[in-house]
Structure 1
Amino acid sequence: MKISYLINPDLKPKEVSTLFINSGIKRPVKNIKRIKHMIENANLTICARDDKKLVGILRAVTDFSYCCYVSDLAVDKKYQRLGIGKKLLKTAQKTLGDKVMILLLSAPEADSFYSHIGMENIQNAWKIARKR
C-alpha cells in the first residue's frame, strides 16, 4: 500500500461523506450539499489516497500568515494507526511554514492521538454552538 498526499485536490462531496462515515467523525454526512460547501469554503485541504480511494482528509481555514484552524481531520478506520493523520498534519505544517500556529478542537476519544503526536493541549477554547 502506497498512500499519496495531495494539497487542495478536487474532491467529490460524496467521497468525503463516505470517508467521514468510515472514519467515525460526526459530520452532516447525509447533507451532501452542506458537505460540498464545507469543501468549497476551506482554503487548505490535504487528502490521503490509497490508489484512488480517499482514506484521509485534513480540511482547514487559514490566513497562511498567523493561524490555521483545522476543521476536520479524519482517517478511515481501516487505515488508522498507520501514521496517516500525523502525516496530514505534518503536510499542513510544512505547507503553512513555521510562523503559522495550527489549532483544532478534538473529540474526547481523539485526545490521546493528539497528545501522542506531540500537540500541546490548551484549555482556553470557547465556542458559540450551531443551531442546526
Structure 2
Amino acid sequence: MSGALVYGLEPDLDAESFQAVLVESGLAPRRPAGDRARLDRMLRASDLIVTARLDRRLVGVARTLTDFAFCAYLSDLAVARDCQGRGIGRGLIEETRRAAGPETSLLLTAAPGVEGYYEAIGMPRLTNAFRTDRER
C-alpha cells in the first residue's frame, strides 16, 4: 500500500463523504445510500465514527452505536473496493474497539457472503442473536 494510511475519529463526518464510501465499498445496496438526509441522521445519531484515510482520501468508515460502558454495535463497516484486502477493515475494527473501551463488547451483523472475513480476523460467530427487520 503506497501513501500514508491514517485512522481517526471523525464525529462530524458529512453525509456526502459517507455516501461515497458506501458506494465505493459495494455496501450501498444494503444501506439508504440514495437518501443523504437519512445518512446524515444516521451519522448524527452515532456515538463513534472511525475513519481510514489514504493520502487524505476517505477509504473506510466504521460507524458505531455504543454506551462506552458495556456494549457497542458496529452498524457500518465500509472500505472502498480498491483498498480492500489491505487490513483496513481490521484496522477500523481495532480502532473502534480501542475507542469504545475495554469494558464494551463489539457486535455486528455481517453482510451476506462476507461472514468468513470476520471469522478470519478472529471474531466468533454467534448463534444466539436475534433481530427484527426494518420496515423501510
TM range (shorter): over 0.9
Alignment of structure 1 residues 1-132 onto 2, 5 Å: 1-25=3-27, 26-132=30-136
> Residue deviations 1:87-129, cap 9 Å, x none?
0111111122222100000112211110011001001121111
Is the CA contact (8 Å cut-off) linking 2:11 and 2:48 kept in structure 1?
A: no
Q: Secondary structure at the match of 1:108?
A: coil
- Give the counterpart letter for 2:104 in structure 1: V
Task: Tell me how far apart the structure 2 counterparts of residues 30 and 67 of structure 1 sit (CA, whole Å).
Answer: 30
Deviates more, 1:75-84 or 1:44-53: 44-53
Q: TM-score, normalised by structure 2?
A: 0.92
5+ unaligned residues in a row in structure 2: which ranges? Answer: none
Q: Distance in 2 between matches of 1:71 and 1:97?
A: 17
CA-to-aligned-CA distance 1:22-72 (integer Å, 9 cap, x gap): 101121111000000011100011000112211000000001001000010
Q: CA deviation at 1:9?
A: 4.0
Cα contact 2:48–2:65 (8 A) shared by 1: yes
TM-align CA RMSD = 1.0
CA separation in 2, counterparts of 1:50 and 1:4?
6
Looking at structure 1, the residues matched to 135 and 24 of structure 2 have their Cα atoms a distance apart, in angstroms, of: 25
Query: Tell me, what secondary structure is at the counterpart of 1:70?
Result: strand
Query: In 1, Cα distance between the equivalents of 2:57 and 2:120?
Result: 27
Alignment partner of 2:115: what SS?
helix
Give 3-state SS (helix, strand or coil) of 2:95's partner: helix
Question: Which blocks of at least 5 consecutive residues in structure 1 are unaligned?
Answer: none
